[in-house]
Structure 1
Amino acid sequence: MDVFTSAAELLRHRRPERPVLALRPHAAHRAASWFFANFPGRVLYAAKANDAPEIIQALVDAGISSFDVASLVEIERVARINGAQLYFMNPIKSRGAIARAYRDFGVRSFAFDSDDELDKIVEETGGAGDVDLYLRVACPNTHSLIPLEGKFGVSSADAPALLLRARQIARRLGLTFHVGSQAVVPAAFGEALRQIGQLIVTSGVLVDAIDIGGGFPSRYPHSDPPELASFMDEVVRAADELAVKHNCELMCEPGRALVAEAESVIVRVDARRGNALYVNDGAFGTLFDAAYSGFRFPARLVATTRRRQKPVAEFALYGPTCDSSDHLPGPFVLPACVREGDYIEIGQIGAYGRVLANRFNGFGEYEEAILTDEPMLSMYAGAEEPAVVPLKRA
């Protein structure tokens, strides 16, 4: 893959017909190193967030060896990594997926949130005694931009009976929860951990691990969360209050926080109508969240000719498909002079951008390149990577 210092340098060499996925593996490496240095436990990568081999390799080079996987496809992909430890944390799985994960790929860690799912795991692993079980507990998602509590998770009222049953089966027993994607208030993790602590006391069941899930935020024009250090401070305070703190492993599953900064997309303006720009990627491509999740992404004009960058204006974007829902309201703040043939770099799409892109109308094909400059926005700017990765946390 070609390497350039910036999008501007790339465009000095060629004018791509397709949108370009611009990878910044160094940003993923820096983010993972920060988590290793600051999270007091095991760091898993939520593999669903970005599957680019270069990004995965950067995370592995930083020390990531544990992965949250949600499907057989993700398992097959991650299992190729030497020494990878796989955690099948989708709370509802097919019987065939459970059996193959256990038999063919050596997966020994499974999440569940009901008696039925626990039955499936026991039956499809043949009642094996080497299975680690993680009970997914529902918790409020009031502090996140993308709530996730509606689909998975047992209630606190029903959890004690499931915990007691699983304790008699599991080699290691854990609890897991998710505060929602792009959690913007550190207290979200403290509140959930206190709920978990109360559940442990109420049930009388000791657990070996607590997985606080993902939800750690990245930075966007519409969402400027506190520093990640404040989230870690909240996690440490709440974890220290747990009755099982001395013999219970703490885990997390960041996805967005590790890879959002590690990729941008370079799009071409194919038409301008007032303050609407028609570009060659959109809602059915890497910019799904800009259309359907209310996200705003940073954008900058990468002009191929010298022009004044002031004044600026607010623009909406339309993607290349024939569907009118291929609309990205933004606003995207760009120089008012933007016109057909210009290129725009849209940042922070490393989390879920490429994995949500599809081939509707025959679009969805991309060129790829590596950029070595800084992301447009960062939670880690100025952070120093540790000289030695603490492997015990991987």
Structure 2
Amino acid sequence: MMSSSPYEPGRDPLSPNCNLAPITTELDAQSRLIVGGCQLSELAECYGTPLYVLDEATLRAACQSYRGALQRHYPGPSLPIYASKANSSLMMSSLVASEGFGLDVVSAGELLTALKGGVPGDCIVLHGNNKSDQELLLAYRNGVTIVADNQHDLDRLSQLVPVGADPAKLMLRFTPGIECHTHEYIRTGHLDSKFGFDPDQLESVLNQLLGCRWARLTGLHAHIGSQIFELEPHQDLADVMAGALQLARRLGHPVMDLNVGGGLGVRYVSSDDPPSIDNWVKVVAEAVNQACRSRNLDLPRLMCEPGRSLVAAAGVTLYRVGSRKTIPGLRTYLSVDGGMSDNPRPITYQSLYTACLADRPLASPDETITLVGKHCESGDVLLKDLALPYASSGDVLVVFATGAYNVSMSSNYNRIPRPAAVLVHSGHSELVQRREQPEDLLRYDVMPERFLALG
């Protein structure tokens, strides 16, 4: 196992979010990188590049860490829910369901993926600040809990649920007014957010729902953001939510679910120092327990929604090195065969990553380069100031901790096909997403007949 390199698996094998690499990462006899028992450069040769690689053991370890921590630290019932926007697929839905997780979705596409992946409807919650009638009906007909984000959700559901039919299961989302230190685009708990009812609307909305036969309010939801390393905001959130729970029950709502969202950060570079899964769950569980006990409230079912912290460290992305451009005294650009279409986070959030060569991970660096993609965009930069041994055209490069928000945010910018994805375990690899082909990108194009006539 690697111990002295910048991509070492981490300090806590039971908490993959603290790792830079999958927990199965090791070196073979020739010091080449192996994940899940599979040599990475061989995967690149077999499946092509760019290639998303997911390690099953790391995924399952993260799931088991959450479930075990909830059982240890929370005396009431609990249900962890996978935030599937981090990486939505049939395989991921099936895997997390097999580990006892529910799943949250934000679109008809994610909902269908969850259902087809074997997640029961009553273990799914539907989020979103502008749900369509199609999405609301699909959720209602499959017994999915709908997170009411605003008055528009309530108005549409009141028209869509048939008179005399079973009521829609609702969870009410509100903004708790809690700030945390993270990128402004992924802060959701402060008052200036597009998500959720304002806290001063809560009582009036709860009163509005009392006489609605089409709805049954069973839960409350709040979320403070993503990629968070602080623990204090989660303690504050528990107190705010317990107060809301007390109000809802006093007004007569049978609220038994308290959903505190997710947001636990992960380690992208060696200087990152996120809390462990166990520590995060312990702080949240004890805070909810204390806040409810101090108000003489029966403990609700505690729900949390990890996404990034479940899947980020399980994934690596493989690229092949292509061209280079050296500007003497200034910079060397090293290009790979992917970039912003398969990982838009650097250009969107200025996100940082760790990378190395698949077959020479321990070699001493010869140069400092700027790693760029192949897209026609000056901002298509994956990593700046990356120290590497000299890389030749055709070498396989590995970027770590790409399991979250890479495949799910990928695009066809410049009409570049999306990569394939494989799952690795015990020396075996399985295709979980086929590689797009250029002709696939024409599937939904329609040529007007008058243009054909001109030809």
SS of structure 2 residue aligned to 1:18: coil
**Retained in 2: the 8 A contact 1:55–1:262?**
no
The alpha-carbon distance between structure 1 residues 55 and 110, as it changes in their structure 2 partners (threshold 3 A), is closer
CA distance in 1, matches of 2:150, 2:353: 38
Deviation at 1:326, TM superposition (A): 1.6
Contact 1:114 1:162 in 2 (8 A): no
CA distance 1:244–1:97, shift in 2 (3 Å): farther
Gap change, CA 1:223 and 1:366, over 3 Å in 2? same
1:385 maps to none
Q: Which of 88, 91, 109 in structure 1 is aligned with 2:145?
A: 109
Q: Which residue of 1 aligns with 2:437?
A: none
**Partner in structure 2 of residue 229 of structure 1:** 278
Letter paired with 2:230? V
| Aligned 8 A contact 2:316 2:403 in 1 | yes
Counterparts in 2 of 1:373 and 1:280: CA distance versus 1, 3 Å: farther
Conserved in 2, the CA contact under 8 Å of 1:67 and 1:87? Answer: yes
Q: State the alpha-carbon separation in 1 of the partners of residues 361 and 92 from structure 2.
A: 34
Tell whether the 8 Å contact from 2:161 to 2:167 is kept in structure 1 after alignment.
no
Q: Kindly state the Cα deviation for residue 4 of structure 1 after the two structures are TM-superposed.
A: 5.3
Match of 2:90 in 1: 53
1:43 matches 2:74: no
- Identify if the C-alpha distance between structure 1 residues 347 and 30 changes in structure 2 by more than 3 Å, giving closer, same or farther: same
Q: Secondary structure at the match of 1:157?
A: helix
Preserved contact between residue 6 and residue 372 of structure 1 (Cα < 8 Å): no
Q: How does 1:359-374 map to 2 (within 5 A)?
A: 359-372=412-425
Q: Call closer, same or farther: CA 1:289–1:111 in 2, change over 3 Å.
A: same
TM-score w.r.t. length of structure 1: 0.84
Separation of aligned partners in 1, 2:37 and 2:282: 37
Question: Which residue in 2 is equivalent to 1:302?
Answer: 358
The match for 2:59 is: 28
How far 1:143 sits from its partner (Å)?
3.3
Structure 1 pair 133–57 and aligned structure 2 pair: CA distance change class (3 A): closer
- In 2, distance between residues paired with 1:333 and 1:272? 14
Q: Which runs of 5+ in 1 are unaligned?
A: 375-394
Secondary structure of the corresponding residue to residue 215 of structure 1 = coil
User: Partner of 2:194 in structure 1?
Assistant: 151
3-state SS, counterpart of residue 118 of structure 1: helix
Q: How does 1:42-191 map to 2 (within 5 A)?
A: 42-64=79-101, 66-82=102-118, 84=120, 85-103=123-141, 106-126=142-162, 128-139=165-176, 140-145=178-183, 146-149=186-189, 150-169=193-212, 170-191=215-236
Same amino acid, percent of matched pairs: 23
2:266 to 213, 218, 224: 218
Cα separation, 2, equivalents of 1:313 and 1:191: 46
Distance (whole Å) between structure 2 residues aligned to residue 201 and residue 101 of structure 1: 28
Compare 237-246 and 340-349 and name the one that shifted more.
Answer: 237-246
After the TM superposition, which residues 306-321 of structure 1 pair with which residues of structure 2 at under 5 Å, given as runs? 309-311=363-365, 313-321=367-375
- TM-aligned CA deviation for residue 370 of structure 1: 3.4
Q: C-alpha distance in 1, partners of 2:320/2:288?
A: 48
Match 1:293 to one of 344, 349, 363: 349
Q: Please state how far the C-alpha of 1:92 moved relative to its aligned partner.
A: 2.7
Q: Say whether residues 1:251 and 2:303 are aligned partners.
A: yes
Q: Which residue of 1 aligns with 2:430?
A: none
For residues 189-240 of structure 1, what are the alpha-carbon distances to aligned partners after superposition, in whole Å with 9 as ceiling and x for unaligned? 1111212223345664453211111212222115321222221121122111
C-alpha separation in 1, matches of 2:241 and 2:208: 17
CA 1:347–1:372 in 2, change beyond 3 Å: closer, same or farther?
Answer: farther
Distance 1:373 1:321, change over 3 A: farther
Q: TM-score, normalised by structure 2?
A: 0.73
Residues 284 and 357, structure 1, Cα contact 8 Å, conserved in 2: yes
Report the CA distance between 1:251 and its aligned residue. 0.7
Question: 1:78-120: CA deviations, max 9, x gaps?
Answer: 11234523211224311232123323xx134111133332121
User: Secondary structure of 1:284's match?
Assistant: coil
Q: Does the CA contact (< 8 Å) of 2:139 and 2:146 recur in 1?
A: no
- 358-367 or 347-356, which deviates more: 358-367
2:333 is the alignment partner of 1:281 = no
| Equivalent residues of 2:227, 2:263 under 8 A apart | yes
1:147 Cα deviation after fit: 1.5
Larger RCO: 1 or 2 (CA < 8 Å, sep 6+): 1
Contact 1:298 1:332 in 2 (8 A): no
For residues 31-64 of structure 1, the C-alpha deviation after alignment (integer angstroms, 9 at most, x for no partner) is: 1111111124111111221123333333233222
Q: Once the 2 structures are TM-superposed, how far is the Cα of residue 332 of structure 1 from its aligned partner? A: 5.8
Q: Which moved further from structure 2: 94-103 or 200-209?
A: 200-209
How far the C-alpha of 1:296 sits from its partner, in A, is 1.2
CA distance in 1, matches of 2:384, 2:210: 51
Q: Size of the alignment, in residue pairs?
A: 364
Amino acid at match of 1:211: N
> What's the C-alpha RMSD, in Å, of the aligned pairs?
2.7
Shift of 1:15: 7.2
Residues 292/116 of structure 1: CA separation in 2 closer, same or farther (3 Å cut): closer
Question: Do the aligned partners of 1:88 and 1:107 also contact (CA within 8 Å) in 2?
Answer: no
Assess, with a 3 A threshold, how the Cα gap between structure 1 residues 373 and 283 changes in structure 2: closer, same or farther.
farther
The answer to whether residue 43 in structure 2 is matched with residue 10 in structure 1 is yes
